[in-house]
A and B are shown apart, each in its own frame.
Chain A
Amino acid sequence: MAITKFQTPMFEDVNVGDYLPELVKYPDNRQLVMYAGASQDFVAIHYDLNVAKEAGHPNVIIHGALKSAWLGELVTGWIGPEGRLLELDVSYRAIDFPGDTATCVGKVIDARIEDGVGLVEIEIGLRNPEGAISTPGRALASLPTRSAT
């Protein structure tokens, strides 16, 4: 089913197996510097090529928490203003580099009602240009139900 961004889907309209609209990011060094300033994460491996090479990487690497933020954006963009993000788990299994396209993907893996609240569990991940998921995770979000409105 097609779900438009920034419109909250009703819980009853979401099915296990639904895919979230992909969120595609084109990170560059400038974005990493902006993120460093905004997050106050000044670990040099994210902006100093010499430091990154000393640590064994071919290029500066994307902040893990920036990847988390993109995955959060993927989910909050889909659940819209009336949904609520409750849990976000992310694991930085592999590093990602500026210059590479980063595609955030998500799939609904569970939908249930708990205490009258519609909950959806979503498998999320950041896909690199080789098609591998460098950053797997999961999210739990609440959605409005028709019975509650």
Chain B
Amino acid sequence: MTTSVSPDDTVISEELRSFIDLESNAVTYEIERHAVERFACAIGDTNPFYTNKPYPEPFAHILDGGSKYRYNEPVRVGDQITVVRKITDLFEKDGRMGTMLFKISEISYTNQEGRLVATQTTTTITYGTGAKDSGVGNH
């Protein structure tokens, strides 16, 4: 039940009251597949997006070591880019965090016309034991 407030005490000014029945600007959204996938993941909807072979990550913590990007041609709005990732090397080093596992991955970005628009070579470092960061295995 709303309580009536005396007109002298109200915080509802004429300006504030003018917002009643005022419509927002109309915004049109394009329903885009990846946005739907992201939303399904965010709410925890079970979906078969991650069908890749599970990577048996031995460590708990992760650091991104760096990347080399090569941009062959521009990517434009509306392009369809196919991304393929593969591990090209695995090696270990001893550091101040103990044994660290270095994973070198190559990622290719190919457009709808089959042209390789970019490549990325990335180094991912994992180390340590304990509670596993939930994002580690997907990287």
Residues of A within 8 A of B (CB): 40-45, 51, 54-56, 63-65, 68, 84-92, 95, 137
Contacts and interface: CB of A to CB of B under 8 A. Distances in A.
Contact of A87 (B70, B128, B134, B135): B70
Contacts of B61: 45, 54-56
Given A40-B38, A43-B62, A55 B133 contact: yes
Contacts of A54: 61, 130-131
A13 B128 CA distance: 50
A56 B97 CA distance: 9
Given A51-B131, A54-B130, A55-B133, A45 B62 contact: yes
B71 A85 contact: yes
A87 B139 CA distance: 22
The 3 closest A-B pairs by CB, nearest first: A43-B135, A64-B64, A91-B66
A91 B139 CA distance: 17
A87 B69 contact: yes
A57 B91 CA distance: 24
Instruction: Give the size category of B's interface with A.
Output: 20 to 34
Nearest to B41: A40
B68 interface: yes
Contacts of B64: 63-65, 92
Interface in B80-139: 97, 128, 130-131, 133-136, 138-139
B58 interface: no
Contacts of A42: 134-135, 138
B40 interface: no
Nearest to A41: B135
Contacts of B60: 55
A65 B139 contact: no
Contacts of B130: 54
Given A45-B62, A87-B68, A55 B135 contact: no
Contact of A43 (B67, B71, B133): B133
Nearest to B127: A55
Contact of B133 (A40, A44, A68): A44
A106 to B, nearest CB: 16
B23 to A, nearest CB: 28
B79 to A, nearest CB: 16
B77 to A, nearest CB: 15
A95 B68 CA distance: 18
Contacts of A84: 71, 74
Interface string B24-60: 0000000000000010000000000000000000001
Given A40-B38, A87-B69, A92 B63 contact: yes
